[in-house]
Amino acid sequence: VSFGYEDVAPEEKTRRVGAVFSNVASRYDLMNDAMSGGLHRLWKDRFVRRVKPQAGETILDMAGGTGDIAFRLAKSGAAVTVADINPEMLAVGVERAAERGIDNLVWTEANAEKLQFPDRFFDGYTIAFGIRNVTDIPAALREAHRVLKRGGRFFCLEFSTTVWPGFAQVYDAYSHHLVPKLGKLLADDEDSYRYLIESIRRFPDMPSFERMIGEAGFIRTRAEPVLGGLVAIHSGWKI
Ligand code: SAM
């Protein structure tokens, strides 16, 4: 499997992704604002509007990190479980929740590839900017399908391939030159941000990723570009 520009063993990728997020956890939220010019907030708002959580539903926010998606989902009154493989990211999330007085979330360590939850447990599964960091993506999609109830919905927010002419070049220049520099400047960690950019570049395009979701068993799959496809929302249903 690939880690940035390198080919590495699967366990090694998982270990290195762990190191990336342990390293950036304390500055993760600041970096998101700096690198997206605050846009990630709008993408996340839009994503959660698309998910339309309802009071009484159970939702698993996978790779939930420091809680950005879960905080938004929980406003609806849904019962939200935040799961992430990285305890440092979760710890920052727990602290942020306490600061905001949000006390109805469940935080748990989990690997998206092998979940501890029973079959048909959740009404919804969300994963935002998480799936491209997972080593075995088909395994994670199968697990998402397994833990959803019949009628349950899968939603994924992820960077994608922009379809606007000209924009790709501007974005490439920005991401390959500026992002690692910002990483160095703000987090003293150029390598982590180089990995993040390379992982975006290597992620499957919208039709390919939509096909993978279908292969995991979901039906009525959709891929919706946001901002010309710089970011995309993928979704599917379990029946
Ligand atoms: N969803 C949050 C957000 O939108 O701000 C966090 C996204 S962050 C870019 C990616 C997260 O994926 C990290 O917290 C990382 O620990 C997590 N992650 C990576 N591989 C994972 C895996 N196999 N299982 C669960 N979480 C994973």
* Ligand 1 atom closest to 157 (CA): 4
Q: Decide if 170 is inside a domain.
A: no
Q: Decide whether any atom of ligand 1 lies within 6 Å of the 64 Cβ.
A: yes
Determine the distance separating the centroid of ligand 1 and the alpha carbon of 100, expressed in angstroms: 21
Determine the distance separating the centroid of ligand 1 and the alpha carbon of 222, expressed in angstroms: 22
Q: Decide whether any atom of ligand 1 lies within 6 Å of the 84 Cβ.
A: yes
From the CB of residue 159, how many other CB atoms can be counted at a distance below 10 Å?
A: 20
Please report, in range form, the residues annotated as the binding site for S-adenosyl-L-methionine: 66, 84, 111-112
Residue nearest atom 16 of ligand 1, based on CA coordinates: 86
Q: Decide whether any atom of ligand 1 lies within 6 Å of the 221 Cβ.
A: no
Determine the distance separating the centroid of ligand 1 and the alpha carbon of 8, expressed in angstroms: 19
Residue nearest atom 17 of ligand 1, based on CA coordinates: 63
How many residues in total does the chain contain? 239
* Ligand 1 atom closest to 18 (CA): 16
Q: Decide if 45 is inside a domain.
A: yes
* Ligand 1 atom closest to 89 (CA): 14
The pick from 43, 133, 137, 158 for probing ligand 1's pocket by mutation, whose C-beta has the most ligand atoms within 8 angstroms, reads 133
pTM: 0.94
Q: Decide if 92 is inside a domain.
A: yes
What pLDDT shows up at residue 165? Answer: 64
Please give the Cα distance from 162 to 84 (Å, whole number).
28
Q: Which amino acid is at 28?
A: Y
Residue 22 domain boundaries: 2-165+204-237
What pLDDT shows up at residue 230? Answer: 83
Residue nearest atom 5 of ligand 1, based on CA coordinates: 68
Q: Is the dihedral of CA 34, 109, 202, 231 positive or negative?
A: negative
Q: Are 232 and 210 in contact (CB under 8 A)?
A: no
Count of domains in the chain? 1
Q: Are 212 and 138 in contact (CB under 8 A)?
A: yes
* pLDDT in 10s for each residue of the chain, 239 residues: 888 778 899 999 999 999 989 988 998 888 888 888 888 999 999 999 999 999 999 999 999 999 999 999 999 999 999 999 999 999 999 999 999 999 999 999 999 999 999 999 999 999 999 999 999 999 999 999 999 999 999 999 999 876 666 766 777 777 777 777 878 887 788 888 888 888 888 899 999 999 999 999 999 999 999 877 789 999 999 99
Residue nearest atom 14 of ligand 1, based on CA coordinates: 65
Determine the distance separating the centroid of ligand 1 and the alpha carbon of 165, expressed in angstroms: 30
Q: Which of 214, 61, 213, 238 is nearest to 148 (CA)?
A: 238
Q: Decide if 61 is inside a domain.
A: yes
Q: Decide if 195 is inside a domain.
A: no
CATH number for the domain harbouring residue 219: 3.40.50.150
Sequence-distant (6+) residues with CB within 8 A of 122 are 58, 59, 60, 81, 147, 148, 149, 152
Q: Decide if 179 is inside a domain.
A: no
Determine the distance separating the centroid of ligand 1 and the alpha carbon of 166, expressed in angstroms: 30
Q: Decide if 154 is inside a domain.
A: yes
